Amino acid sequence: MSETAIEFVDVVKRYGMVTAVDRISFSIQRGEMVTFLGPSGCGKTTSLRLIAGLELPSEGSVRIAGQDVSTRAASERNVGMVFQSYALFPHMSVIENVAYGPTIRGDDKKAAAERGQEILAMLGLDGLGKRLPSELSGGQQQRVAVARAIVQQPDVLLFDEPLSNVDAKLRRRVREEIRDLQRKFNLTAVYVTHDQEEALAVSDRIVVMNQGRIAQIGTPDQLYNRPNSRFVADFIGDANLISGRLENGRFVAEGLTLPFADPGQEGAATISVRPERIGLDPAGHGGTVQSATYLGSRYEYMVSAGYGSLLVSAPITSTPIAPGAQVGIVIPEDGFTLVESS
C-alpha cells in the first residue's frame, strides 16, 4: 500500500499574470482516495487537470506511477476522468462510448466492445449498450461515464465534482457507490469538490486548498478535529473562532480560561471550537441565548459571551431554551484546537 501513485513536486501553474496553483507538493499512495477541497478558484480543479495532463505545469514536476509526465499530453498518460457534465459523446451509443478508449488506443474493435460489455455489466448497466446517452437517466449517464473512465484500468481515476449534476436526494447514494467502486477495484482516485460534507464522507485523505496553495492535508478526522489554520477550521464544518492570549499554559479570553498543554507558547492566539463540542450546563461560564433555531435533527443556538458570539449545537433530546435565557457554557479540555498564534 505504500507505493506512490502520484507525486507533485513544487508544481506551479500560471495563466498569464494569474497564478492558479502556487508551488504545491504532495503525494498520493496507490489505492488511496484523496479529495481536493476548497472554495471556487482555489486551484483544486487546476490541480486535477494537471494530473490528467489537460494542463501542463509552468514549473515543477508531476509524477505518475514513478514516471515524470510533466510535459506529456493527456493522451500519453494513463488516467481516467469523470467529468462534471459527464461529457459522454452524444453521437455514440453507450457501448461505443465505453469502448472508445480501447478502440482509439488501437485495440481490436470486437475485443474492445467485449471489454466494454463486461464493465457495463459490473456497473449494472447491461442491456443499455445500444442506447444513446441522451436516452439514459442522469444516474445511468454518470455510471456510463465511470465505466468509460475505468475500462482501461487507469493509473488513477479522477472525478471532477461528479455530484454537482445529481439531485440533492441522490447524492448520498451516488457517493457511496463511487466509494464502493473505488474500494472494489482498489483504484487510486482523486476527487474534486467544494462540498466539505461530501469530502469528509468519501475520502481517505483530504487536501484542503486555498488561493492556489495547500492549506492542510490529512484524514477527515484530523481535518475536522485538528484544523491547523483559521481557514481550514472555518471551511470544514462550522467553527467558533475565539481570539485571546496564551499565557502560563493557559488560553485566556475575556471571561474564559482554558488549560493549554504546551506551556512554551505565549502571546496572541485564536482557538477553534466545534458547535457540537460545546455543552450547555449551569456549571459553565455565563452566556445569553440570543436566538434559537429548530433544525429537525438538532437545535442551534447563538449564545453571546464576553469574548464574542458562539454557535452551539444541542441534541434534539435536550430541553429547548428560549432566547434571552441565561445559560452556562462548557468547553471541554480536548474540545478546542489552536488555529493561530503569534
Partner 1 sequence: MTALRGLGLRLGAPWLLLGLIAVLVLPWYKLPPPDLGAGVLPPGSALTQMLAGRWWLLPPVLVMLALAGLRLAGGLRWQTHPAVPWLAGGGAILFLLQAFGIGLRGPGFEWVATLFPAAAPGQPGLGLGGFAFGIAITGILADCLAVRGFCRGERFAANAVVFVVVLLALFVFFPILRLGAAALFTPEGVFQPGVFVTRFTAPDLWGLNCLVGQGKCGVVINTLVLGVLSGGFSTALGLALALIVARTGFRFKSTLRAISILPIITPPFVVGVAIIVLFGRTGLVTGWLDVLFDVPRTRWVYGLPGILLAQVLAFAPVTFLVLLGTVEAINPTLEEASKTLGARPLATFRTVTWPLLRPGIAAAFLLAFIESLADFGNPIVLGGGYDVLSIRIFFAVVGARYDLGNAAVLAIILLTLTLGAFWLQTRWLGKKSYVTVTGKSDSGLAAPLPRPLKGLVYAVVIPWIVFTLGVYAIVLIGGFVTDVARMDLAPTFRHLNTAFAFEIGQFGLQLYGSAWDSLKTTLVVAAIAAPLTTILGILTAYLVSRQNFVGKGVFEFGTMLSFAIPGTVVGVSYVVAFNVPPVDITGTMAILVICFMFRNMPVGMRAGIAALSQIDRSMEEASQTLGANGFATLRTVVLPLIRPAIFTSMVYAFVTAMTAVSAVIFLVSARHNMATAYIMGRVENGEYPLAIAYSAVLMIIMVASILVINVLVGRRELGRRAQLQGAPTVVPAE
Q: Which residues bind partner 1 (CB under 8 A)?
A: 52-56, 70-81, 83-85, 87-91, 100-101, 104-105, 134, 148-149, 152, 158, 160
Minimum separation from the CB atom of position 25 to partner 1 (A):
20
For residues 130 and 173, which CB has a smaller minimum distance to partner 1 in the complex? Answer: 130
Strands (E) across the chain are located at 4-15, 18-29, 33-37, 59-64, 67-68, 79-82, 156-160, 189-193, 205-210, 213-218, 240-247, 250-253, 256-259, 267-273, 279-294, 298-305, 308-315, 326-330, 336-341
For residues 70 and 313, which CB has a smaller minimum distance to partner 1 in the complex? Answer: 70
Minimum separation from the CB atom of position 242 to partner 1 (A):
44
Minimum separation from the CB atom of position 114 to partner 1 (A):
17
For residues 152 and 337, which CB has a smaller minimum distance to partner 1 in the complex? Answer: 152
For residues 157 and 338, which CB has a smaller minimum distance to partner 1 in the complex? Answer: 157
For residues 150 and 233, which CB has a smaller minimum distance to partner 1 in the complex? Answer: 150
Give the residue from 26, 18, 73 showing the smallest Cα distance to 47: 26
Minimum separation from the CB atom of position 161 to partner 1 (A):
11
What separation in angstroms does the CA of 244 have from each of 6, 120, 269, 306, 312? 41, 58, 5, 11, 19
Residue 312 and residue 103: Cα distance in Å, rounded?
57
Which three cell numbers mark 287?
Answer: 452566556
Residue 339 and residue 271: Cα distance in Å, rounded?
5
Residue 143 and residue 97: Cα distance in Å, rounded?
12
For residues 98 and 310, which CB has a smaller minimum distance to partner 1 in the complex? Answer: 98
3-state secondary structure of 332: coil
Minimum separation from the CB atom of position 75 to partner 1 (A):
4
Minimum separation from the CB atom of position 302 to partner 1 (A):
39
Which three cell numbers mark 80?
Answer: 481516467
For residues 69 and 314, which CB has a smaller minimum distance to partner 1 in the complex? Answer: 69
For residues 154 and 244, which CB has a smaller minimum distance to partner 1 in the complex? Answer: 154
Beta bridge partners of 35: 191, 206
Minimum separation from the CB atom of position 49 to partner 1 (A):
8
Residue 339 and residue 100: Cα distance in Å, rounded?
49
Give the residue from 202, 201, 200, 261 showing the smallest Cα distance to 227: 200
Minimum separation from the CB atom of position 129 to partner 1 (A):
17
Amino acid code (one letter) for 176: E
Residue 269 and residue 52: Cα distance in Å, rounded?
41
